[in-house]
Structure 1
């Protein structure tokens, strides 16, 4: 143990990943200090879609495990966290996308996830507001939505004897100690870096790329849709290239407001709204929800997803800085995978058994695949 330490563990970043890590460590009796400088965070900018993706076996395992943990937390969460299991409809526009729906159905079924293929007629019955003529869909019953800013706040506050918060800017990290903007050094047994794209400032060697996204929210209206609606083109083509892209992604919040997404722009650090990209995104959304154009949009904004080269987060100890732990690079799945990330990171840090569903996938998340000697071997 380190004499004169500020806490057992210092967590940098009070967004959903940092909050989940702090809460999980506190559950094991660890005293945690969370440092956050209130920069714009992806937690506040995102849709809060709890969605299991399957671009890789590791991503599928982490997402499925994490959504299950959110469901375990649901009975304890306050209403303002807005956790709902509304399910996702992955929409197929044509026969090619129905083939993708069938592949996805098989992969999720193999993991024991409740999902079913719908015909075009069944889609029309389930969501009458959608345009006619869709080929079908995959319905994933266990996906949900969450108001992430309130969920992060709740996670940070529910164990006040174990978790302290301090508003402070960290300007330097050296293993298990940090330097604040006022020059003060704080020391701990370990430091967890969980501040999204801003982690690059403290660790320039991290291979994190910003992916800018736009969102728009409407005024409050009577229920128009019941599921979160996402086009299968989101995964088959729309967001697979390196250029700017849009894809249909809409959910109705418990307030009655519609969240409309999504867009991607690479290497964009500017948070300003790109009117052309926003317009392109909304036009795509109206191709699926024709009545959307009659609704009043009250606010639009952007956020920066922190993406790694292989699309998987970095979860584990920094290979070149013992005592510095990483929980970054979640791209658009930070809210979904916060709980599983916290379990996996805490297990490594505390030298405890890894969560059984993730044991076979640990190497897919370790930072060594990008930084340290093994990355260059």
Structure 2
């Protein structure tokens, strides 16, 4: 990105993956960036993410198209000498199905991905187990989404922040915003450590953005996740596996008891993700309006039972960690990204829910382009926070 924001002072509120990416891309334009966070880098959702850089489960339309573009940006950033070299690696994502309604959902998503130009490979019947022997025989459908990737959240944050040269202030809560005025004075941020003045302020604080901009009306969505011990196995998954119940859960489809909506075991949408060093990340739940990071035995038990049902070799491994991540969701499923109308110098980049890792390069690049008055990628305009078309969730 080549716009010029030389000597422009920008405060970014939030040191997660979105805030860090914005700091990086703004610094490339010459801006002087300060990042503040009430705890520190990756202390929120970015530090409890699965690291998936994937378009496989994205809703068709704006979000899928932007994810495709951001995925391509990661590849460029990971080139030799790039900021993500050694932190991002390519792999496939596999959509899997074990019953008729999952097969239907899997094929419907595959059709949307194909129309968007994503490379796919469909495998069915006995050919599934021939290609990946560790899968149980009850898996009846498999779609390999090619050209995907993985990047650990805290590593992405660290790389972006270090490369940006931004001043990072930890344990500084943003308490109040004062927008700028059209005559030229920029906005100010009242923090627990004092007042900071800047030409521009970007609110990228996840759920914490609500305290500064209540009209965003973000709400929490929690997911409980499991990490296995490190153990070498004769089996090696070629990528992360997402079962089609995940797609249905995202769409709020009515599938009866199959997703256990409202049960004590929580809604389970199975994802099995091979990690470096022979570990697996297994998830997870999708729980509305719960910002508590505790975990529940019944939910963990259900997740593990499903994982072992479809990949029996996992039953030989021990669990070493169970945790929950809480993400900021928006009413229409699209993040907020853009300038706040009638508030000079005030910008917002929040509500990315589970898409923050994937969309981070796109979001940072687009924000820097907007501030520099440059063209933005097609579709970004749909994320404008004040668009009258955006849905507002009833309180």
TM-score, normalization by structure 2: 0.85
Aligned with 1:337: secondary structure?
helix
Match of 1:314 in 2: 336
Aligned with 1:286: secondary structure?
helix
Displacement after TM superposition at 1:91 (Å): 0.3
315-324 vs 151-160, greater mean Cα deviation: 315-324
Rounded Cα–Cα distance in structure 1 between residues aligned with 2:228 and 2:28: 38
Match of 1:42 in 2: 45
For 2:54, which of 51, 67, 81 is the aligned residue? 51
Q: Deviations over 1:289-335 (max 9, x none)?
A: 22322211111111111100111100011235332111101111110
Rounded Cα–Cα distance in structure 2 between residues aligned with 1:117 and 1:258: 24
Structure 1 runs not aligned, ≥5 long: 1-5
Aligned with 1:325: secondary structure?
strand
Match of 1:19 in 2: 20
Contact 1:120 1:137 in 2 (8 A): no
Q: Deviations over 1:242-294 (max 9, x none)?
A: 74411110111122110111111111121111222222222222222223222
Q: Deviations over 1:17-39 (max 9, x none)?
A: 11111111111121111112226
Equivalent residues in 2 for 1:267-286, closer than 5 Å: 267-286=289-308
Q: How many residues in Structure 1 have an aligned counterpart in Structure 2?
A: 362
Match of 1:3 in 2: none
For 1:257, which of 279, 283, 297 is the aligned residue? 279
For 1:324, which of 346, 355, 361 is the aligned residue? 346
- Kindly indicate which of the two structures has a greater share of residues assigned to helix: 1
For 1:289, which of 307, 311, 336 is the aligned residue? 311
Rounded Cα–Cα distance in structure 1 between residues aligned with 2:311 and 2:106: 20
Pair 287,159 (structure 1): closer, same or farther in 2 beyond 3 Å? same
Equivalent residues in 2 for 1:294-305, closer than 5 Å: 294-305=316-327
For 1:240, which of 244, 252, 263 is the aligned residue? 252
TM-score, normalization by structure 1: 0.89
Rounded Cα–Cα distance in structure 2 between residues aligned with 1:204 and 1:370: 17
Match of 2:163 in 1: 158
Match of 1:68 in 2: 72
Contact 2:210 2:218 in 1 (8 A): yes
For 2:220, which of 210, 231, 234 is the aligned residue? 210
Rounded Cα–Cα distance in structure 1 between residues aligned with 2:97 and 2:62: 25
Structure 2 runs not aligned, ≥5 long: 1-6, 180-186, 254-260
1:366 aligns with 2:384: yes
Rounded Cα–Cα distance in structure 2 between residues aligned with 1:8 and 1:364: 27
Displacement after TM superposition at 1:103 (Å): 2.7
Pair 366,116 (structure 1): closer, same or farther in 2 beyond 3 Å? same
Q: Deviations over 1:160-219 (max 9, x none)?
A: 2xx22122221112222201113x211111111111111112222212110011111111
Contact 1:319 1:371 in 2 (8 A): no
Match of 2:256 in 1: none
For 1:221, which of 209, 219, 231 is the aligned residue? 231
Pair 238,25 (structure 1): closer, same or farther in 2 beyond 3 Å? closer
Match of 1:145 in 2: 150
Pair 299,208 (structure 1): closer, same or farther in 2 beyond 3 Å? same
Rounded Cα–Cα distance in structure 1 between residues aligned with 2:315 and 2:107: 32
Rounded Cα–Cα distance in structure 1 between residues aligned with 2:249 and 2:160: 36
Contact 1:210 1:307 in 2 (8 A): yes
Rounded Cα–Cα distance in structure 2 between residues aligned with 1:172 and 1:362: 27
Rounded Cα–Cα distance in structure 1 between residues aligned with 2:331 and 2:21: 24
